[in-house]
Chains A and B, each alone.
Chain A
Amino acid sequence: MYPGEFDYLRADSVEHALDLLDDHPDAEVLAGGHSLLPTMKSGLADPDVVVDIGHIESMQGIEHDGDTTSLGALTTYAAIDDTDELWEGATALAEAASEIGDTQVRNRGTIGGNLAHADPASDLPGAAIASDLTLVAEGRDGERRIDADDFFIAMYMTDLREDELLTRIEVPRLNGSAGGAYVKKPSPSSGYALIGVAARLQIDDGAVTGARVGANGAMDHGVRLGPVEDAIEGESLTEDTIAAAAEQATDNLDISMMMDDLQASSEYRSHLLEAYTERALARAAERAGATVPA
């Protein structure tokens, strides 16, 4: 379809972008365009003003500093997928980025746009939580740091304020006996996750010393699967301990709020969440170097 008429404004800097958004409070922000433009074409969004932040220099680039990688919010999925340090130290995030859409989408879509859009069926919310990201927002009062755990609030709703822009994402990298994974059940039509589960496991002497598990596609926003983490922590990794932990996947979730649509009922999603949690844990365990006995 054809979007309605709108004014296009291009921001040169974060400050300029904040000014433009101040002047046009109902404007939509355009980064890679892979969420906004389809909604405009389908008539779901009809903004009078679009502020393009895609050319802001300070929001680009990937920097590695010690155990942290800092990603400009405009970093594309393809760039994340191409970064060996992330595959090694934040595997769930790299794998999730590699699973988004197709090549064209991955070349255009950005991590910042994705996270700020907060589509519950996107592939990044679960990985953002499992990878323990810190999201950096800039506003009039300077920077604010938000834990991924606190970032996703509801469908298309985040902790970002109206007058803030997500500018940078900090990714902690784990090296040594750690492993991560993202597995998804894609919708056969859209490729979005009907269920996606990201896991990060740290292992010491055969036992799990740290676990983070996040999911998308299940609820109206990305969620952390605490009971699964609790169940696997301290355990040695076997098919049985993994299966037992995965069975906790829905324990803290309000099943009545589980996503339910033409593609998959909430009942089936609940079941898939357990099945895919098991797959994510198994793959993360394997990458952490654990041999998983039957």
Chain B
Amino acid sequence: MTEMSVESVDPDDVDAADILGSAIERREDPALLTGDAEYTDDIQLPQMTHMAVKRSQHAHATIEGIDTSAAEAMDDVVAVYTAEDIDVPGNLPTGWLLDTLNQVDHPILADDRVRYQGDAIAVVIAEERYAAHDAVDAIDVDCERLEAVTSPREALDTAPDLHDDAPGNTAFEWEIGDAEKTSAAFESASHTASIDLENQLIIPNAMEPRAAVADYNPSTEELEVAMTTQNPHLHRLLMSGVIDHPEHKLQIRAPDVGGGFGSKIHHYADEALAAWTAKQVERPVKWVATRTETYLTDAQGRGHETHGEIAMDDDGTIVGLKVETEANLGAYLSTFAPAVPTYLYGTLLSGQYDIPAIHCEVTGAFTNVPPVDAYRGAGRPEASYVVERLIHLAAKKMEMDPAEFRRQNFVPDDAFPYETQVAVAYDSGEYEKTLDRALEMLDYEDFRERQREAREEGRYLGVGFSAYIEACGLAPSELAGQLGAQAGLWESSLVRFQPSGTVTAYCGTSGHGQGHDTTYAQIVANELGIDYEDVDVVEGDTDEIPQGMGTYGSRSAAVGGSALVKSSQKVVEKARSIAAHQLEASEADIDFENGEFHVTGAPDRSMHITEVAEQAYLAHNMPDETEPGLEATSFYDPDNFVFPFGMHAAIVEIDPDTGEIEFERYVAVDDVGNQINPKIVEGQIHGGVAQGIGQALYEAAEYDENGQLLTGSMQDYAVPKAEHIPEMETDSTVTPSPHNPLGVKGVGEAGTIAAPQAVVNAVVDALEPFGVDHIDMPLKDEKVWRAIHENGGEN
């Protein structure tokens, strides 16, 4: 149960001038709450067929033969396809390249070998969904099982190769920082601390499973694909190559999307197969993943095995940090897989700290689990987890208070922009502010006293801190290109007045729960000085929106929001010239305020921007050389990432008899820059923290020695429920980003990045009397009980 601290307000009760920054109610919620939303599976088209996918039961096997005859003979079966029918490239590409990357084939239907349980082998197109699934069951696949491996370390050390093009199962070897300088720092250090940890594989579990409805018109060659996606334009580009269909004849549309958490960024086989089969059968094809398929095939997150070390001088100043990680990439390279454990991970290893020497080596490994890619936070939670666990151990080693150890090592307020030793420059930050606020909320000194007293009574309380940093809005495009991105990382927008004075704002991001319809309308209404209700927002359709990069990496406000500001400003400038012309004044003498243009010093000589819009479409009286109409398109390419930060802290009590963990407090103080809508910010923090606690305490993709998923349903995989989540106490500070027009940073991933180490540090702090230094996530009660037990604890 969580208590909300920000009150929602009705937009009608907010002055137009205050709309930006108000906690107005989300305008998308009524449809989502009443069932009026349209998800992909709600789409029904005439003559529509249904696709189901035959998947590998084995994690690793050669395919000796596929018999589809029984399936083909079944009533209501329209067609059955296997790899040999695929007459297009049919190979899923990788969107991020590294110098050392071993690229491997990733066919949309496996031809001679399957590499994870769930790998697609054949598809059935049938008149209805049940018939399609029954026919899939009738396909007989003759397989020869091979040895399977699910741990990256084992895959690199001993397992047989998954791919001919990746000897030793090595996907890449990558490093960042200065190895020599870091070694020297460790040699001269007075103290060190180290950790071996696993950051376990997580299954994303968006509420809406992946789905697609593809509709092909053979006369026009237009192919329309409605699908659950976070980035329609990127899917259009990738899919056009995979199924060899011209990009301008391909429309990708995201209806309402029920969550993604990263898993709907990537281009998968299934959506491509739905599109390709629609062309084959020349009828609409619908595919909706079952929950089982979601568990087996959605790209998973995390999956690191890491050794980390930290070095301090005599007074507890950090002098060096080194990290070696084996990253699980799964069976194939998913769309952005190579970026996640490298540039989204190694670059964040300085945390909030001024660390003079850092070195990080990462080896990517192919294993027999589904492809691993971005999952809420993507690389940054893994980095923050390593850093904050090491900081906890370092403070203990130094016999220093963990809060004061952090304070001593923070990047100081006057050091921004701060160049880290791992290639990024933090834009702005005031780290002590969030620490101080968190300590105040925790009543920290009092807690330490209570902790001492409780221990004397045989009760075990602990506090854990997480001073997290994240990097959002990966940018600029030139830098992304140098690092290996096969895409730009700008955002585009179009802001269009209608003649009657209402506005439609189009943005190339693609919200799937974030509330963009509300926040983007706030941004545009504020820029144009018009009513919030007069702005409509359109996202998620390649035929409506000029171009776009999508929603992920907490980029929408910082990059998409800035693109909307840029277009709005262009609209205002054009409107200014029209107003100047009609008011018979020079443009330089026209002021713009709250939607009103007026001649400087003569407030009576004025035109509202909505009147200018009407005039722009009448076009009866326009300045020379000015085109009719009032709209503008922009591409916004940010100067840098934005770097939100904050301090989360958990207080837990452990029952030493059973290992059960109970939350006493969860405090979150976040600085995400300027806030467009504090209610949405708070909601993002709450959801993110819940997901982070899920990883800390409950969630893990667990496999047996044959690579079979043991946690393949919600019966066995614990997605946290309301009863598992503590009441959260949230507060925020505001340190604007200096380099985007809104001064915003990003909030979508903050809670997920921050929470795991706050919880683990708290549990380890509680168990200090038992000599417990570390427990790998998820901290199931039994693991905690064993840690106590094995250290001579109770019973």
Cβ-defined contact, A190 with B716, below 8 A: yes
Residue A7 CB within 8 A of the other chain:
no
Answer yes or no: A42 CB below 8 A from chain B CBs: yes
* 18 new A-B contacts at CB < 8 Å, known A185-B658, A190-B714: A1-B292, A2-B130, A2-B290, A4-B137, A42-B292, A188-B698, A188-B720, A188-B724, A189-B711, A189-B714, A189-B715, A189-B716, A189-B718, A190-B716, A262-B710, A264-B782, A268-B781, A272-B658
Q: Does residue B451 face the partner (Cβ distance < 8 Å to A)?
A: no
Q: How far is the CB of A85 from chain B (nearest CB, A)?
A: 28
Most A CB within 10 A of own CB, among B130, B657, B782:
B782
Cα distance A173–B785 in the bound complex, in angstroms: 38
21 pairs, A vs B, C-beta closer than 8 Å? A1-B133, A1-B290, A1-B291, A2-B130, A2-B133, A2-B290, A4-B134, A5-B134, A187-B718, A188-B698, A188-B718, A188-B721, A189-B714, A189-B717, A190-B714, A190-B715, A263-B716, A271-B658, A271-B785, A271-B795, A275-B658
A252 interfacial by beta-carbon distance below 8 Å: no
Point out the residues of chain B lying under 8 angstroms from A1, CB to CB: 133, 290-292
- Closest CB-CB distance, A221 to chain B, in whole Å? 20
Q: Could you say which residues of chain B place their CB within 8 Å of the CB of A103?
A: none
Task: Give chain A nearest CB distance to B646 CB in angstroms.
Answer: 27
Contact B290 A268 (CB under 8 A): no
Interface membership of A83, Cβ < 8 A = no
A107 at interface by CB-CB < 8 Å: no
Residues on B with beta carbons closer than 8 Å to the beta carbon of A188: 697-698, 718, 720-721, 724
Q: Check B711–A262 contact: CB distance below 8 A.
A: yes
Q: Mark A180-198, 1 if CB is under 8 A from B, else 0.
A: 0000010111100000000
> Is A265 close to B, CB under 8 A?
yes
Closest beta carbon of chain B to A189's beta carbon, Å: 4
Using a Cβ cutoff of 8 Å, how many contacts connect chains A and B? 52
* Residues of chain A within 8 A of B731, CB atoms compared: none
Is B713 an interface residue when CB atoms closer than 8 A count as contact?
yes
A1 to B781, CA, bound (A): 31
Contact A189 B710 (CB under 8 A): no
Instruction: Give bound CA distance, A42 to B714, whole Å.
Output: 12
Q: Which residue of B lies closest to A268 (CB)?
A: B782
Closest chain A residue, CB of each to CB of B719: A189
CB neighbours (8 Å) of B290 from chain A are 1-2
Question: Inside 8 A of A272's CB, which chain B residues have their CB?
Answer: 658
Any A CB within 8 A of the CB of B222: no
Interchain residue pairs A-B with the least CB separation, the first 6 = A189-B718, A188-B718, A2-B133, A268-B782, A190-B715, A1-B290
Taking the closest CB of chain B, its distance from the CB of A217, in whole angstroms, is 14
CB neighbours of B782 from chain A (8 A) = 264-265, 268
B702 within 8 A of A: yes
Q: Does B665 contact A (CB under 8 A)?
A: no
Q: Least Cβ distance of B705 to chain A in Å?
A: 14
Size class of the A contact interface (CB-based, 8 Å): 10 to 19
Interface flags, A1-24, vs B, CB<8A=1, else 0: 110110000000000000000000
A262 near B702 (CB under 8 angstroms)? Answer: yes
Please tell me if the beta carbons of B292 and A275 are within 8 angstroms of each other in the complex. Answer: no
Chain B hits for A265, CB < 8 A: 782
> Which A residue's beta carbon lies closest to that of B655?
A275
A250-265 interface bits toward B, Cβ cutoff 8 Å, 1 = contact, 0 = none: 0000000000001111
Q: Is B129 part of the contact surface with A, judged by Cβ < 8 Å? A: yes
Least CB distance, A269 to chain B, in whole angstroms:
9
Q: Are A268 and B785 in contact (CB under 8 A)?
A: yes
Q: How large is the interface on B (under 10, 10 to 19, 20 to 34, 35 or more residues)?
A: 20 to 34
Report the minimal beta-carbon distance from B723 to chain A, rounded to whole angstroms.
9
Q: How far is the CA of A265 from the CA of B789 in the complex (A)?
A: 14
How distant is the Cα of A4 from the Cα of B138 in the complex, in angstroms? 12
CA–CA, A189 and B697, complex, Å: 12
Q: What does the 1/0 interface line of B276-291 toward A look like (CB < 8 Å)?
A: 0000000000000011
Write out the residue numbers on chain B whose beta carbons fall within 8 Å of the beta carbon of A263.
716
How far is it, in angstroms, between the C-alpha of A187 and the C-alpha of B526 when the chains are bound?
Answer: 49
Closest chain B residue to A263, Cβ basis: B716
Which B residues are CB-close (under 8 A) to A187? 718
In the assembled complex, which residues on chain A have CB atoms less than 8 Å from the CB atom of B134?
A: 2, 4-5
State the CA gap A5–B19 with chains docked (Å). Answer: 56
**CB-CB < 8 A to A262: which residues of B?**
702, 710-711, 716
- Could you say which residues of chain A place their CB within 8 Å of the CB of B130? 2, 5
Chain A residue contacts of B129, Cβ below 8 A: 2
With a cutoff of 8 Å between Cβ atoms, the chain A residues found around residue B720 in the complex are: 188
Q: Which residues of A contact B715 (CB under 8 A)?
A: 189-190
In this complex, what residue of B is CB-closest to A276? B658
A188 to B720 CA separation, bound complex (whole angstroms): 7
Interface string of B640-658 (1 = CB under 8 A from A): 0000000000000000011
Contacts of A268 in B (CB 8 A): 781-782, 785-786
Contacting residues, chain A, for B137 (C-beta < 8 A): 4
Instruction: List which A155-212 residues lie within 8 A (CB) of chain B.
Output: 185, 187-190
**Which listed residue (B292, B658, B698, B781) contacts A189, Cβ 8 A?**
B698
- Complex interface: chain A residues within 8 A of B781 (CB): 185, 268
Chain A residues closer than 8 Å to B697, beta-carbon distance = 188
- Whether A42 pairs with B702 at a CB distance below 8 angstroms is no
How many angstroms between the C-alpha atoms of A104 and B658 in the bound complex?
Answer: 30
Residues of chain B in range 99-156 having any CB-CB distance to chain A below 8 Å? 129-130, 133-134, 137
Considering the complex, give the chain A residue whose CB is closest to the CB of B786.
A268
- Nearest chain B CB to A256's CB is how many angstroms away? 19
Report how far A65 CA is from B129 CA in the complex, Å. 51
* Nearest chain A residue, comparing its CB with the CB of B778: A188
* A residues near B710, Cβ cutoff 8 Å: 262
* Chain B residues in 8 Å Cβ range of A264: 782
Measured in the bound complex, the distance between the Cα atoms of B657 and A271 in whole Å is 9
- Per the bound structure, the CA–CA distance linking A137 and B702 in Å amounts to 42
In the bound assembly, the distance between CA atoms of A267 and B189 in angstroms comes to 44
Q: Which residues in window 25-42 of A have CB below 8 A to B?
A: 42
Select from chain A the residue with minimum beta-carbon distance to B660. Answer: A185
Closest beta carbon of chain A to B50's beta carbon, Å: 11
- Chain A residues 224 to 269 lying within 8 A of chain B, measured CB to CB, are 262-265, 268
- B713 CB to closest chain A CB, in angstroms? 7
Residue of chain A at shortest CB distance from B716: A189
Tell me the complex Cα distance, A268–B657, Å: 11
- Per the bound structure, the CA–CA distance linking A4 and B136 in Å amounts to 12
Q: How far is the CA of A275 from the CA of B657 in the complex (A)?
A: 8
Residues of B within 8 A of A275 (CB): 657-658
Q: Give the chain B neighbours of A271 by CB distance below 8 A.
A: 658, 785, 795
Measured in the bound complex, the distance between the Cα atoms of B292 and A90 in whole Å is 40
The residue of chain B having its C-beta at the shortest distance from the C-beta of A269 within the complex is B782
Q: Closest chain A residue to B658 by CB distance?
A: A275
CB-nearest residue of chain B to A42: B713
CB distance from B711 to the nearest CB of A (A): 7
CA distance A2 to B53 in the complex (A): 13
Q: What is the minimal beta-carbon distance from B718 to any residue of chain A, in angstroms?
A: 4
How near does chain B come to A266, taking the closest CB pair, in angstroms? 11
CA distance A264 to B658 in the complex (A): 12
Cα A232 to Cα B206 in complex, Å, equals 49
Chain B residues with CB under 8 A of A2: 129-130, 133-134, 290
CB B791 to nearest CB in A, in angstroms, measures 16
Q: Report the bound CA distance from A188 to B658 in whole Å.
A: 15
**A2, A5, A188: which has the most chain B beta carbons within 10 Å?**
A188
Q: Which residues of B contact A42 (CB under 8 A)?
A: 292, 713
B702, closest chain A residue (CB): A262
Instruction: Give every chain A residue within 8 A of B716 (Cβ-Cβ).
Output: 189-190, 262-263
Give B691-711 as 1s and 0s: 1 = Cβ < 8 Å from A's Cβ atoms: 000000110001000000011
Q: Which residue of B lies closest to A195 (CB)?
A: B658
Note all chain B residues with C-beta closer than 8 A to A189. 698, 711, 714-719
Q: Which residue of A lies closest to B293 (CB)?
A: A1
Q: What string of 1s and 0s marks CB contacts (under 8 Å) between A24-64 and chain B?
A: 00000000000000000010000000000000000000000
Measured between beta carbons, the chain A residues less than 8 angstroms from B713 are 42
Q: Which residue of A lies closest to B698 (CB)?
A: A188
Chain A residues with Cβ below 8 Å from B657 are 275
When C-beta atoms are compared, the residue in chain B nearest to A190 turns out to be B715
Least distance between A123 CB and chain B CB atoms (Å): 15
